[in-house]
Amino acid sequence: MNWDQFEKEQPIAARLLKNSLVNRRIAHAYLFEGEHGTGKKEASLLMAASLFCEENGQDVTPCDHCGNCKRIKSGNHPDVHIVEPDGLSIKIDQIRALRTEFSKSGMESKRKLYIIIDAEKMTVQAANSLLKFLEEPHAETTAVLVTDQPQQLLPTIISRCQSVPFHPLTPEFFAKRLEEAGVPKGKTFLLAAITNDLQEALRLNDDDWFAQARKIVLKLYEVLNNPLYAMTTLQVDWIGHFKEKAQHDMGLSLLLYIYKDVLNIQLGKDRQLVYPDQRQTLEKDALQTSMKRLSEQMTAILEAKRKLHANMNPQLLMEQLVLNLQGGPSFV
């Protein structure tokens, strides 16, 4: 990531950080918070390069070719430390080691910077140890905490950090990025609806399971008005393919996007259909379905997602959902 890209993707975060760098008013701790895939880790490394670059002078843009820039990019700069979960959590020994390291003077300058990735995964002991560190900041030391779930951090840690919000990329912007990365145009808005993470989107684009999931969801939607075919498709195709909770959730999201497409056609917002290859069918359905009914169907899918996460049996849940989408009994 460079500053031009950062400013296009996250203008608020980029402006806040750039002003801090230009005015040499660096906070002792930042909290980069936002959804997964919004560029938080990349931005933290860009900030590190901007702080340590040997050749950028009064400009905040790192040169990318000096020794410091290269070592930050490769992860081996002695004064830039990255802490990531060891297994499922960040443990107290990792924070203790960080505090010990930062009690020493900088190897090559007075400045030191540490980045804690997935900060919400700190154990209680690790979080309390970090809090003591934040309460006694060393001069020229900067912390960057990166998190998808700030609500899981101690309020006292949050209060000692300057918040830097990272917002989801717009579907239009992210779809363009995907197209530039080689994803077929007909699939870009579907992937952009699912994730903001470029690498995850590219993985899904090449994933046979995901391609088959899309086909099964479209097939179920197509046969919903035929009760026998709908239940057969559900039992044979859906239950056979969507086995884990996360897979069922993905299937429900893919189903929800079909109804959103129908609604967007009714509203005249059909430039970025998630299923552009289904336009003819969806336009026909848009003429035959009321907005009230569409709202009921979308609400039923969202309710199914909620019940899925409340550990309702997936097969029973899907059978009830199909009845509801057909106009049968509601969830009870």
Domain extent listing, the chain: 3-166, 207-325
Per-residue confidence (pLDDT) for residue 265, from 0 to 100: 96
The mean pLDDT value for 249-269 works out to 96
Q: What is the pLDDT of residues 50-94, one digit of tens each?
A: 999 988 767 789 999 999 999 999 989 999 999 999 999 999 999
CA atoms of 307 and 266, how far apart (whole Å) = 29
**Among 124, 132, 116, which residue's Cα sits nearest to residue 154?**
124
pLDDT of residue 108: 59
Q: Which residue is listed with tokens 């399971």?
A: 209
| Rounded Cα gap, residues 113 and 110, in angstroms | 10
The CATH code of domain 207-325 reads: 1.20.272
Q: What percent of the chain has pLDDT over 90?
A: 78
Looking at residue 330, its pLDDT comes to 40
For 153, left (φ over 0), alpha (ψ -120 to 50), or beta?
Answer: beta
Range scoring the smallest mean pLDDT among 130-134, 216-220, 245-249: 130-134
Half-sphere exposure for 163 (CA within 13 Å, toward CB): 14
Helix (H, G, I), strand (E, B) or coil at 89: strand
HSE of 195, CA atoms in CB hemisphere, 13 A = 16
How much is the average pLDDT of 302-319?
94
Please report where in the chains the tokens 């443990």 appear, as a residue.
Answer: 91
Site of tokens 């470029």: 198
Whole-structure pTM value = 0.73
Q: Is the pLDDT of residue 331 over 70?
A: no
Q: Yes or no: say if 234 and 318 are a contact pair by the CB < 8 Å rule.
A: yes
**One-letter amino acid for residue 53 of the chain:** C
Note the pLDDT of residue 230.
Answer: 92
pLDDT tens digits, 177-214: 899 999 999 999 999 999 988 899 999 999 999 999 99
Residues 102-111 have a mean pLDDT of: 69
CA atoms within 13 A on the CB side of 239: 15
pLDDT at residue 59 in the model: 79
Contact assessment for residue 185 and residue 179, using Cβ atoms and an 8 Å cutoff = yes
Tokens of 117: 């990735």
pLDDT in tens, 3-31: 998 998 899 999 999 999 998 899 999 99
pLDDT of the residue at 107: 57
- The pLDDT, as a whole number, for residue 262 is 96
Q: How far apart are CA 282 and CA 297, in angstroms?
A: 15
Domain 3-166 in CATH: superfamily? P-loop containing nucleotide triphosphate hydrolases (3.40.50.300)
Residue 296: other Cβ atoms inside 10 A: 15
Q: Give residue 329's pLDDT.
A: 40
pLDDT recorded at residue 60: 86
Residues 155 and 40: their CA atoms lie apart, in Å, by 20
- Rounded Cα gap, residues 306 and 303, in angstroms: 5
